[in-house]
Amino acid sequence: MESKKIKWGILGTGRIAHVFATALRDTTNSELYAVGSRSVEKAKEFAMDYGIPKSYGSYEELVDDPQVDAIYVATPHHLHLENTLLALNHQKHVLCEKPLGVNEREVRLVIEKATANKLFLMEALWSRFLPNIMKTKELIESRAIGDIKLLTAYFAFKSNLGPAGRHFNKELCGGTVLDIGIYNIFLSQLLMGKPTSITAMAGLSDQGIDTTCSYTFKYDDETLAVMYSSFLVDSPIVAEIYGTTGKIMLEHRWFAPGKVKLIHTGGSEVIFEFEEKGNGYQYEAEEAARCILEGKTQSEMWSLNDSLELVKTMDTIRKECGIIYQGHDTSVTQ
């Protein structure tokens, strides 16, 4: 007998929506059932591309479909709160693209609603579920490099989106911290927990958002995490973790599927390679669907509290750099 699969509805038909639709083909517990767009033509075209049974010309119609189990929110940052609440209010489970909300207040609001409605909610931090990141966490926990003393993580590339585009547009809550810096911060949080202090500095655009930002976290016992993100320059997107007995190196585009190198202080080296399956986004979809099928309201691998801690750190960085999103940031500016 075929086991139950989660019927997904994709909300928004942009770049990441295509990636997720492709990824669902590589899952065992999910099917792509519906798509919703602000434009009925775009919804139909997207549905044709992926063989999706239902397409809707509004997000409201999508979440109204009783057959849809879970919604994948694939809109720009400034809409995550509104779109996630829309889905939760229609009793749909939600996997929302990162960040789960623009600030702590927004993340708390969606968590409260999901909890009140007993629905599953997760931030789509796909890297958390990738084999290279899982292996890195496992190596740290097994003390393969002793005590961590320094983490460096960089995520910078020259964005070709114009001032109206998602990366640079303040109205859409653009800026590097929420968009790509979030991966650096996530890695430090996953491996090192909560810092005791944070310093940050940003280069701000005319619109007042960070086009380059650096942030350093301090922990007890002289340990630091040093990170930056930028939309202005191409730089190696690498992450390295240095411990008392060795180091772990994550290769270029470390947040995506890739190799992990473990180098012991004595010089011995182990390279971990992983079978390349799909585009890498299937792991987060599998995890969300597994949790929903098991009646869970959050994932233990990337919990709602993890998302809350992550956004609190990003709020601190933005406050330090003076990055304010009008209409969203009452909690940051107060």
Ligand X SMILES: NC(=O)c1ccc[n+]([C@@H]2O[C@H](COP(=O)([O-])OP(=O)(O)OC[C@H]3O[C@@H](n4cnc5c(N)ncnc54)[C@H](OP(=O)(O)O)[C@@H]3O)[C@@H](O)[C@H]2O)c1
**Residue numbers at the binding site for ligand X (CB under 6 A):** 12-17, 37-39, 42, 74-77, 79, 97-98, 124, 126, 166, 172, 179
Q: What are phi and psi of 140, to 5 degrees?
A: -65, -45
Report in angstroms how near the CB of residue 269 gets to ligand X at its nearest: 29
Q: Which is nearer to ligand X, 75 or 136 (CB)?
A: 75
Report in angstroms how near the CB of residue 74 gets to ligand X at its nearest: 5
Q: What are phi and psi of 167, to 5 degrees?
A: -70, -35
CA atoms of 210 and 48, how far apart (whole Å):
38
Q: Can you list the alpha helix ranges (DSSP code H) found in the chain? A: 15-24, 40-50, 59-64, 80-89, 104-116, 131-141, 176, 182-192, 282-293, 304-321, 330-333
Report in angstroms how near the CB of residue 202 gets to ligand X at its nearest: 18
Q: Which is nearer to ligand X, 145 or 182 (CB)?
A: 182
Asked if 265 contacts 245 with a C-beta cutoff of 8 angstroms, the reply is yes
Report in angstroms how near the CB of residue 275 gets to ligand X at its nearest: 20
Report in angstroms how near the CB of residue 100 gets to ligand X at its nearest: 10
Q: Which amino acid is at 259?
A: K
Q: Which is nearer to ligand X, 93 or 98 (CB)?
A: 98
Report in angstroms how near the CB of residue 127 gets to ligand X at its nearest: 8
CA atoms of 193 and 114, how far apart (whole Å):
25
State the residue number with the nearest CB to ligand X: 14
Q: Which is nearer to ligand X, 70 or 139 (CB)?
A: 70
Q: Which is nearer to ligand X, 60 or 147 (CB)?
A: 60
Q: Which is nearer to ligand X, 59 or 228 (CB)?
A: 59
Q: Which is nearer to ligand X, 94 or 148 (CB)?
A: 94
Q: Which is nearer to ligand X, 65 or 263 (CB)?
A: 65
Q: Which is nearer to ligand X, 61 or 251 (CB)?
A: 61
Report in angstroms how near the CB of residue 315 gets to ligand X at its nearest: 17
Report in angstroms how near the CB of residue 92 gets to ligand X at its nearest: 17
In whole angstroms, what separates CA 317 from the centre of its chain? 17
Please give the structure tokens belonging to residue 63. Answer: 């979440």
Report in angstroms how near the CB of residue 83 gets to ligand X at its nearest: 8
The candidate with the shortest Cα–Cα distance to 187, out of 247, 241, 121, 147, is 241
The candidate with the shortest Cα–Cα distance to 161, out of 77, 255, 236, 231, is 231
Q: Residue 192: is it exposed, middle or buried by C-beta count within 10 angstroms (0-12/13-18/19+)?
A: middle
SS (H, E, C) 152-218: EEEEECCCCCCCCCCCCCHHHCCCHHHHHHHHHHHHHHHHHCCCCEEEEEEEECCCCCEEEEEEEEE
CA atoms of 327 and 212, how far apart (whole Å):
23
